[in-house]
Amino acid sequence: MSTPTIMNANTIPLNQNSGTVPDMFGALQDWFQPMTFGLITKVVSDFQVIESVQNITFMGVWQPLGGRQLKMQPEGQRQWSSYMLHSDITLELKIDDIVTYLGVQYRVLANKNYELYKYRYYELCQDWTSSGPPTP
């Protein structure tokens, strides 16, 4: 008589089990809230820098970076406020993009595209230069 074997997912590599990536949108939907960023863009026209702000509305959650993540940053950057952002896949920011949120200007330091899981991850740091238009 043979012993029955229990088959579970721990023996199947992720790249061989297509179609089973967990859809995180249902869980994240309860966590996310409506957010609006102002994306600052610069264009040079007639030797003048013209800055404009485009509002981007999306669903996400804003959190301060944890201690372990702050330890990995250079020492001089630790004095600036750093945050992580989990957002839906409609928000597409690039590294070094400048955004405003709640009247404060931030620069995108890192982005991770977890589109298979239905979300994106960003790390932002309070921008220490006046690289955007003045806030009213």
Residue ranges of domains in the chain, CATH in brackets: 22-126 (2.40.10)
Q: Please list the alpha-helical segments (H only) found in the chain.
A: 25-31, 67-71
For residue 129, pLDDT over 60 is answered with: no
Q: What angle do CA 70, 55, 50 make, to 5 degrees?
A: 95
Between 106 and 20, residue with greater pLDDT: 106
Sequence-ordered list of residues with C-beta below 8 angstroms from that of 99, at least 6 positions apart, any chain: 37, 38, 39, 40, 56, 93, 105, 106, 107, 108, 124
Residue predicted with more confidence, 74 or 7? 7
Q: Percentage of the chain surpassing pLDDT 70?
A: 65
Question: Per-residue pLDDT averaged across 35-56, rounded?
Answer: 90
Beta strand 119-126 with 48-64 is: unpaired
Selected residue with higher pLDDT from 8 and 55: 55
pTM: 0.70
Q: Is the pLDDT of residue 63 over 80?
A: yes
pLDDT of residue 48: 87
Residues 111-123, mean pLDDT to the nearest whole number: 90
Cβ neighbours of residue 1 closer than 8 Å, sequence gap 6 or more? none
Mean pLDDT, residues 20-39 = 81
Question: What's residue 62's pLDDT?
Answer: 93
Q: Which pLDDT does position 101 carry in this prediction?
A: 94
Average pLDDT over residues 82-96: 92
- Give yes or no for a contact between 135 and 100, defined as CB atoms under 8 angstroms apart: yes
Q: Which residues of 58-91 are buried (b: 16+ CB within 10 A; e: fewer)?
A: bbbeeeebeeeeeeeeeeeeeeeebbbbbbbbeb
Residues 6+ apart with CB under 8 A from 7: none
